[in-house]
Amino acid sequence: MLVRDAMSTVILVLGPAHTLREAATLMSARRVGAAVILDPDAGGIGILTERDILNSVGLGQNPDTERAHAHTTTDVVFAAPTWTLEEAADAMTHGGLRHLIVLDRGEVAGIVSVRDIIRCWSPARERAPLARAGT
């Protein structure tokens, strides 16, 4: 299976001036763990993850005044849609990452997460849903 088969193509894209609270609100509403940050003044494409926001709040920083650009990872590991899921998992493992931005011909095509890969690899996706207790 390839990255293009597992990646999310609906991407949350934010600018560098968004506050961390705005980013967290949008990420929560869309149920995503990362946002692509487009900042042409700082090198282009970056990623802001839920962990970046958590680290900032844990340091006592104000999410209403902290801006995405100050917490964005710009040294990004990109995946290609033609990578295998094994290649993506290997890149994540070696980089300590949970998300990879997928580039196709230099354009953002999607994001693949650890959860996306597990969902594709899990034999549970081939079984019927388990009954819940009390139902």
Q: What b/e string do you get for 71-100 counting C-beta neighbours within 10 Å, with b at 16 or more?
A: bbbeebeebbbebebeebbebbeeeebebb
Check whether 128 has a pLDDT greater than 50: no
Tens of pLDDT, residue by residue over 65-120, are 999 999 999 889 999 999 999 999 999 999 999 999 999 998 999 999 999 999 99
CA distance 58 to 73: 18
User: What pLDDT sits at residue 126?
Assistant: 53
Q: What percent of the chain has pLDDT over 70?
A: 90
pLDDT at 130 > cutoff 90: no
| The residue type at 120 | C
Say what the pTM is.
0.84
